[in-house]
Amino acid sequence: MELLKGASVVSAMNEEMKKNLSTLDYIPHLAIVRVGERPDDLSYERGAVKRMETIGLNYSLFTYPETITHNKFQEEFEKINDNNEIDGILLLRPLPKHINEEEIIQLINPIKDIDGISHKNMAKIFAGDKTGFAPCTAQAVVEMLHHANIPLEGKKVAIVGRSLVVGKPLAMLLMKENATVTICHTKTVEMEKECSRADIIIAAAGKAKMLTKEYVKEGAIVIDVGINLDENNKLCGDVDIVSIEEYASMATPVPGGVGTVTTSVLAKHLIEAARQRRSENKK
């Protein structure tokens, strides 16, 4: 079984973005918005900052205490949203429970919504509108498949998980490439059989090592989006990678797989958002 690692994908994407950036007369600017200090938020923030610095993009950190009120946070967020120097916004979620997250999300200017969390961007992805931004994790899966030169047209793809962050938008992205997609979830009957028919399996259920050899037909490609802790408190994915080694032809590791590519997609979206904003301003 060949391991499809994120590092080579990131390297290729970064070089392409640096070329694209050299054609702009402006350096795109990202706003990273964080409330509180959740460890996973801090980890993702560090990764995003490192990627921006590697490519040569500008960024600003907007951090607020977990105790900030909904009204005050909304006021601060609207200032960021209206700031003409900001091209893209990364809102780290989930927000504290006393803040109405849905209300904040729907305030985001769709052109600045580079993580694809607003209803307007979701609608664009479902409609096949190229100006829309898909959630970065869903787009990262597609980037990895493209990098590995895996043909998607006519392929049977099983996605395990139906979230708005990965499962549903990813299904739309893959159908746009003429793949035949099945979405499996907690109520799917005989999920093992559904997955074992697929040429490509994408695990995004959020359950440690749930996908074993019984789910994988010989020669299938397995993309693991999950990030969990196993019984030894070590990072693992939704796939029991040891179990599938003799069945899958290719699989992504955890860590070192899809998650590695996500911040590169964020940067790619930021550059595109800057182009779109400047194009709109010229009209």
What CATH number has the domain bearing residue 237? 3.40.50.720
Question: Both 141 and 222 in a single domain?
Answer: yes
CATH code at 97? 3.40.50.10860
Residue 106 sits in the same domain as residue 140: no
E strand or H helix at 143 = helix 136-147
- Cα Rg of the chain, angstroms: 19
Sheet with 58-64, side-by-side order of all strands? 58-64, 29-35, 88-91
Distance between first and last Cα of the chain: 52
Domain count within the chain: 2
Let me know whether 141 and 57 are in one domain.
no
* Residues 235 and 160 both lie in one domain: yes
Stated pTM of the model: 0.95
Note whether 39 and 95 are same-domain residues: yes
Residue 265 lies in a domain: no
Residue 259: C-alpha distances to residues 10, 16, 282 (Å)? 10, 19, 36
Q: What is the spatial distance between Cα 90 and Cα 93, in angstroms, rounded to a whole number?
A: 9
- Structural domain ending residue among the three candidates 111, 145, 170: 111
**Domain shared by 94 and 155, yes or no:** no
Phi then psi dihedrals of residue 66, to 5 deg: -60, -20
Q: In this structure, is residue 278 part of a structural domain? A: no
Instruction: Collapse the DSSP code of 174 into the 3-class scheme (helix H, G, I; strand E, B; otherwise coil) and give the result.
Output: helix
Tell me: do 153 and 105 sit in the same domain: no
Residue-number span of the structural domain to which 107 is assigned: 24-111
Q: Does residue 37 fall inside a structural domain? A: yes
Per-residue model confidence as pLDDT tens for the chain (283 residues): 999 999 999 999 999 999 999 888 899 999 999 999 999 999 999 999 999 999 999 999 999 999 999 999 999 999 999 999 999 999 999 999 999 999 999 999 999 999 999 999 999 999 989 899 999 999 999 999 999 999 999 999 999 999 999 999 999 999 999 999 999 999 999 999 999 999 999 999 999 999 999 999 999 999 999 999 888 889 999 999 999 999 999 999 999 999 999 999 999 999 999 999 887 766 5
